[in-house]
């Protein structure tokens, strides 16, 4: 039976370490969170980020904007936050309402305050192996692997999903850790041929039941990044957890795996931003 990779416990340890370090700083780090519209899931994620900030001794500044906010209004707020000295990090909760251009909005955040690491400058730095901030979800995965002494060097790593936020940066971080990486996606024929070769398999698609036990090599490390809702309304990933845990050596649960570490790595980035000032 696989070892369960406990992201929730690791995230708690990370918050406690950060809270301790904050007591040694001469000022409180600050995060500005912008939420446009009233999507219930986004509201919950934002309030969790505020709770995390409070636990770590960070200030948080919430900016709620109406769903019909114009791009000019949003960019004006970001411009103001870019020059506000109390704000070390700026986070625009995604997804944005359809009429707003996500790319433009991300590019308007000052790269030194881009704690999500979505700005092209930070993506470029990371791809050169000289990161300022690391994207929270892939960095959370790397932190889980490190905490459980799972060495990536020389391993066959397969990432399913090629999003800018998870799949692509995940592939880069695994490559930088000397893994041999294959990125699969919706146009990959015979997905199982690739997944069955993987020593480390990362699923980041957003489709419940995508990874079955017969697609996983005996003893593989299986990381589930996805966060779907099943028919009963419960959180689940892309991996058939119950079946795959009988085949894998290590596996992340959903919930309680990568999600909490995504939140923890955001706190690491805010601390980094505050210390660089």
Ligand X SMILES: Nc1nc2c(c(=O)[nH]1)N[C@@H](CN(C=O)c1ccc(C(=O)N[C@@H](CCC(=O)O)C(=O)O)cc1)CN2
245 is catalytic: no
Kindly state whether residue 225 participates in binding ligand X, applying the rule CB under 6 A: no
- In whole angstroms, what is the distance from residue 124 CA to residue 56 CA? 29
- In whole angstroms, what is the distance from residue 22 CA to residue 49 CA? 17
Q: Which is nearer to ligand X, 209 or 219 (CB)?
A: 209
Give the binding range for ligand X (CB under 6 A) out of 148-156, 182-190, 216-224, 251-259: 251-259
Closest CA to 113 of 84, 76, 149: 84
Give the binding range for ligand X (CB under 6 A) out of 50-58, 87-95, 152-160, 200-208: 87-95
- In whole angstroms, what is the distance from residue 105 CA to residue 219 CA? 42
Q: Which of 14, 60, 108, 262 binds ligand X (CB under 6 A)?
A: 262
Size of the site for ligand X (CB under 6 A): 16
Kindly state whether residue 93 participates in binding ligand X, applying the rule CB under 6 A: yes
Give the footprint of ligand X on residues 18-47 (CB under 6 A).
Answer: 45
* Of 52, 88, 116, 199, catalytic: 116
Q: Which is nearer to ligand X, 27 or 51 (CB)?
A: 51
- In whole angstroms, what is the distance from residue 149 CA to residue 174 CA? 15
Q: Which of 29, 138, 169, 259 binds ligand X (CB under 6 A)?
A: 259
Kindly state whether residue 245 participates in binding ligand X, applying the rule CB under 6 A: no
Q: Which residues make Cβ contacts (< 8 Å) with residue 210, sequence separation at least 6?
A: 160, 203, 226, 238, 239
- Strand 228-229 and strand 235-236: the pairing is antiparallel
CA distances from 10 to 42, 75, 164 (A): 23, 36, 25
The residues binding ligand X (CB under 6 A) are: 45, 91-94, 116, 136, 227, 235, 254-256, 259-260, 262-263
* Residues labelled as active-site residues: 49, 93, 116
């Amino acid at each position: 039976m696989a070892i369960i990779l406990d992201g929730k416990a690791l995230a708690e340890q990370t918050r406690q370490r950060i809270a301790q370090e904050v007591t040694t700083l001469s000022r409180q780090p600050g995060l500005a969170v912008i939420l446009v519209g009233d999507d219930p899931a986004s509201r919950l994620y934002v309030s969790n980020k505020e709770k995390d900030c409070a636990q770590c001794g960070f200030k948080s500044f919430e900016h709620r904007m109406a769903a019909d906010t114009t791009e000019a209004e949003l960019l004006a707020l970001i411009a103001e936050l870019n020059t506000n000295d109390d704000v070390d990090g700026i986070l625009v909760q995604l997804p944005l309402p359809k009429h707003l251009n996500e790319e433009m909005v991300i590019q308007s955040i000052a790269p030194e305050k881009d704690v999500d690491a979505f700005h092209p400058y930070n993506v470029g730095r990371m791809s050169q192996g000289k990161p300022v901030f690391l994207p929270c979800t892939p960095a959370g995965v790397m932190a889980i692997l490190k905490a459980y002494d799972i060495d990536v060097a020389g391993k066959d790593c397969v990432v399913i999903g090629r999003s800018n936020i998870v799949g692509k940066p995940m592939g880069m971080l695994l490559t930088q850790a000397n893994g041999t990486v294959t990125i699969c996606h919706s146009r990959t024929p015979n997905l199982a041929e690739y997944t069955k070769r993987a020593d480390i398999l990362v699923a980041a698609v957003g489709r419940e039941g995508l990874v079955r036990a017969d697609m996983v090599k005996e003893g593989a490390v299986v990381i589930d990044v996805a966060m779907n809702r099943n028919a009963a309304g419960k959180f689940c990933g892309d991996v058939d957890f119950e079946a795959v845990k009988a085949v894998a050596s290590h596996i992340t649960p959903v919930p309680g795996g990568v999600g909490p570490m995504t939140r923890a790595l955001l706190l690491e980035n805010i601390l980094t931003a505050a210390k660089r000032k």
